[in-house]
Amino acid sequence: MTNALHSQQGPVCPICGRPIPAHVLQSLHHLVPKLRGGKGGPVVLLHHICHREIHATLSESDLARHYNTVAALRAHPRLAKFAAWVANRPPEFMSRVPGGRRGPRR
């Protein structure tokens, strides 16, 4: 049976909507970071590139406070733009995620 998180090709990334075949790099993302109380909490399976983009965009504190659901992550302007861009790439697509994009530290 097919649903929003599973397709005939395997699980589906909730960020970009592409299938995650077994042979591609994938990561489990803690919706609340482990260092902010999320150890043992809910996790989602993502493409590795999508997971890296989340952590390149948002701090652990922002993830814990404001972006601790898939819907909130998808609503973030930078992540929404990334998801729209990467959705047209094949599931095995990888790209270097530049560092230092979070902006100034508080």
* 7-49 confidence digits (pLDDT tens): 566 799 999 999 999 888 899 999 999 988 878 899 999 999 9
- What mean pLDDT do residues 52-68 have? 95
Handedness of CA 7, 13, 14, 16 (dihedral sign): negative
- What mean pLDDT do residues 73-83 have? 96
What's the confidence (pLDDT) of residue 14?
96
Dist CA 40 CA 63 (whole Å): 16
> At residue 93, does pLDDT exceed 60?
yes
Which H or E run contains 77?
helix 77-86
User: Which residues, 6 or more positions from 44, have their beta carbon under 8 angstroms from its beta carbon?
Assistant: 14, 28, 29, 31, 70
Predicted structure pTM score: 0.80
